């Protein structure tokens, strides 16, 4: 990868983060945003209204940071899953984590839990869902890729049915709209507290995947070839599943089901840098953070009421993926 391209991957997310802080229905100049951010670290005398600082620091900054974290986490998880399953059509949803998180959130809304408790319950159910998938897929001390996929389909279908049941029994005037809106995905409830819930597992999972990225190249060759080269394949599969589950459960627990990010962005990164996971995973991290910042900016400003993220990511992702299929002819390179 050229130095200019690498520099672009490094610069794009923080540049878009800065743009996200002054773009919105309430106009704030870039100069004012820069001074407000500097005032958080330096003893500058404020010459701006307190309301403007509150909008930038307490509303837009946590939301933008959370968008970056969720986009980066879902993208690197999708790239790792595609390498693990040796299939370009999979993402982290294949293990049932999103459906399990969705049911946890629906249950929390039914029980009138607050936002912090909802995030914790959804995160816990996401971990439990993948643990169930992994337990179902174990066959004679091994975990075949096909069994993981089939077990994930079963667990996802089970929790999707439970979500439908929760919506069926929910109060149609109070609880049902809240469940439906949450499942569509949104960052409008972002705060420093929710960022504190989501960021540690996303950072930990992403760091784990980056440390394992060179081994994913060997795993993509097949289990037998990887074992012949000295890779402990079962341990590696378990480590990748743990990392991707931590990331996806944390992301879904704070912003709902945001689809297509973990499927489309790794393909875009692969078109730019190639299939080598040593470069592909960091590229996916950067592109995912930038992509969700852009999508969230559109969601906040495109209409009078905020558009759910899940709608926008599908509207953008599905046509792009269709074009990609036509362009590549279905090959994974």
Class of the 3-328 domain?
mainly alpha
Q: Are the C-beta atoms of residues 106 and 167 closer than 8 Å to each other? A: yes
Block residue for tokens 């993948």: 130
CA 308/CA 46 separation, integer angstroms: 35
Helix/strand/coil (H, E, C) string of 29-42? CHHHHHHHHHHCCC
Mean pLDDT value of segment 116-142: 90
Write the pLDDT tens digit of every residue in 238-252.
Answer: 899 999 999 999 999
- Counting runs of H as helices and runs of E as strands, what totals does the chain give? 14, 0
331 pLDDT higher than 70: no
Mean pLDDT value of segment 205-212: 95
Share of the chain above pLDDT 90, in %: 56
pTM (two decimals): 0.92
**How far are the Cα atoms of 2, 68, 72, 327 from residue 205, in angstroms, in the given order?**
27, 15, 11, 32
Mean pLDDT value of segment 110-124: 91
Output the pLDDT for position 143.
80
Mean pLDDT value of segment 134-163: 89
CB atoms within 10 A of CB 117: 12
* pLDDT, greater one: 236 or 228: 236
CA nearest 86: which of 225, 217, 211, 242? 217
| Residues contacting 69, CB < 8 A, separation 6+ | 195, 198, 199, 202, 203, 251, 289
**How far are the Cα atoms of 40, 77, 126, 211, 269 from residue 208, in angstroms, in the given order?**
31, 11, 19, 5, 19
| Predicted confidence band of residue 328 (pLDDT cuts 50, 70, 90) | low
In the chain, where the domains are located:
3-328
CA 198/CA 124 separation, integer angstroms: 12
Output the pLDDT for position 108.
95
CA 9/CA 72 separation, integer angstroms: 12
| Predicted confidence band of residue 1 (pLDDT cuts 50, 70, 90) | low
Mean pLDDT value of segment 167-187: 91
127 pLDDT higher than 80: yes
| Predicted confidence band of residue 133 (pLDDT cuts 50, 70, 90) | very high
């Amino acid at each position: 990868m050229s130095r200019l391209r690498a520099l672009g991957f490094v610069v794009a997310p923080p540049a878009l983060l800065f743009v996200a802080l002054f773009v919105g229905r309430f106009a704030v100049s870039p100069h004012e945003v820069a001074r407000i951010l500097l005032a958080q670290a330096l003893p500058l005398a404020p010459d701006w209204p307190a309301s403007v600082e509150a909008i930038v620091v307490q509303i837009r900054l946590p939301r933008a940071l959370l968008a970056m974290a969720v986009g980066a986490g879902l993208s690197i998880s999708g790239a790792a899953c595609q390498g693990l399953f040796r299939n370009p059509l999979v993402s982290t949803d294949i293990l049932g984590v999103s459906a399990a998180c969705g049911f946890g959130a629906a249950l929390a809304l039914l029980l009138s839990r607050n936002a912090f408790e909802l995030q914790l319950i959804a995160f816990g159910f996401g971990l439990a869902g993948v643990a169930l998938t992994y337990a179902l897929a174990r066959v004679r001390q091994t975990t075949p890729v096909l069994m993981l996929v089939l077990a994930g389909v079963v667990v996802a279908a089970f929790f999707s049915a439970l979500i439908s049941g929760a919506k069926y029994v929910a109060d149609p005037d109070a609880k049902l709209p809240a469940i439906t809106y949450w499942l569509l995905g949104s960052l409008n409830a972002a705060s420093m507290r929710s960022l504190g819930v989501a960021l540690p597992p996303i950072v930990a999972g992403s760091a784990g995947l980056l440390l394992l990225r060179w081994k994913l190249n060997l795993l993509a060759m097949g289990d037998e070839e990887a074992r012949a080269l000295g890779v402990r394949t079962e341990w590696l599969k378990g480590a990748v599943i743990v990392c991707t589950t931590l990331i996806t459960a944390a992301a879904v627990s704070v912003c709902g089901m945001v689809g297509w990010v973990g499927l489309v962005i790794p393909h875009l990164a692969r078109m730019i840098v190639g299939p080598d996971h040593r470069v592909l995973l960091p590229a996916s991290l950067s592109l995912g953070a930038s992509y969700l910042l852009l999508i969230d900016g559109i969601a906040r400003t495109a209409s009078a009421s905020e558009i759910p993220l899940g709608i926008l990511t599908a509207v953008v992702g599905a046509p792009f993926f269709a074009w990609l299929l036509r362009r590549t002819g279905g090959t994974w390179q």
